[in-house]
Amino acid sequence: MIDDASRRRLQRLMTLSLAGVIFTVAVILVGVFTRLVDAGLGCPDWPGCYGHLVVPDASRAMAHSPDAPLEVFKAWVEMVHRYVASALGLLVIALVALGAPLRRRPDYPWGVSLALLAVILVQGAFGAFTVTLKLWPQVVTLHLLGGLAVMLLFLWLYLRLRRFASGRLTLGGVAPPRRPLTSLWWLAVALLMAQIALGGWVSSNYAGIACQGFPTCNGQWWPAMDWSEGFHLTQSVGPNYLHGQLHADARTAIHMGHRLGALVLGLALLALAVRHRGEARLRPWLGALVVCFGVQLGLGIANVLLWLPLWLALLHTAGAVALVIAMAMAIWCWRESGAESARQHAAKQMTEKEWVHV
């Protein structure tokens, strides 16, 4: 039984966790904007900017880093990104502190809260490595995936808190079973994560317009490509990777890999939607998955045809975020529908026993 004080605390926790989802999306988009305007190295050091917590004037910047001339706009873009990311970290700490008194309650998502804290700390480290390793593509891609992981943990925490607050947690003191993911679900999830990682790899290696034209690439269905170099994951650390280091054929391979990944992912999502079209509770989120994928595909094509305009590239990232959220919600509904069926079956059995007793 949840008392009034705990219920108020839970309400605050749910509000903060939902705000965290929205705030994380904003931080991801600010990070992408930072990258798209080539401001990732707007400040050559970390966590400050030319040794200061705010962007200094040109003379102080020159005294601190004479080999990295100050570009005021890029420096401020990078620092705004750091400020909002730091605020997100404080939000996570507040969530953990606020939820600590409830940590011993059955089914309270304390583990999710701690996982969120751990991931946000790792994400902060990746933010530092992005600068100190001069936009090394591996770190930039992992930094994007880390941001999505933070968003998913905020969302999962909110859903778990909402379930906890509802009081429908157990059946006779035993947690109801939740449906495990089938092989088709795991395939769709793996393909979605791989495709997002490919998108990050395209961006971090500046391969977004390595292919001109669609559906062909540079006027060919299968252009010259260097797959081994394009997906060589042990690139040396040290060079400045701003604007990329790979030659044209390697970038073309990365771009084509992303296109082929989109095709396979689309087929998997369609198969998932068709397979579970009869489940009313699941249908809206599977429909959202398919629609988001269609929009995302259109945005990707438009980015190529229009030469990667800033606003369209941002929308493409937002589409990827929407896909991840739709997949997470579909998985939640799939798992919870098993628990709901168990509750209904238990209630039916209890009613039948009462009738027999009468």
Q: What are the residue numbers of the active site?
A: 78
Contacts of 1 (CB under 8 A, 6+ apart): 167
What is the DSSP-derived secondary structure letter of residue 171?
A: B
CA dihedral 199→246→302→297, nearest 10 degrees, is -30
Residue of 196, 155, 190, 170 lying closest to 16 (CA atoms): 155
Contacts of 102 (CB under 8 A, 6+ apart): 6, 9, 10, 108, 110
- 47 cis-preceded (ω within 30 degrees of 0): yes
The angle, 0 to 180 degrees and rounded to 10, between the axes of the packed helices 110-132 and 72-99 is 160
Residue of 18, 14, 197, 215 lying closest to 98 (CA atoms): 14
Distances (CA, A) of 278 to 269, 281, 284: 15, 9, 11
Q: Is 247 left (phi over 0), alpha (psi -120 to 50) or beta?
A: beta
Distances (CA, A) of 122 to 141, 196, 301: 14, 19, 33
Composition of the chain by helix, strand, coil, percent to 5: 70, 0, 30
CA dihedral 195→289→331→33, nearest 10 degrees, is 50
What is the residue type of 255? Answer: H
Residue of 95, 113, 115 lying closest to 13 (CA atoms): 95
Residue of 37, 40, 65 lying closest to 50 (CA atoms): 65
Burial of 136 (0-12, 13-18, 19+ CB in 10 A): buried
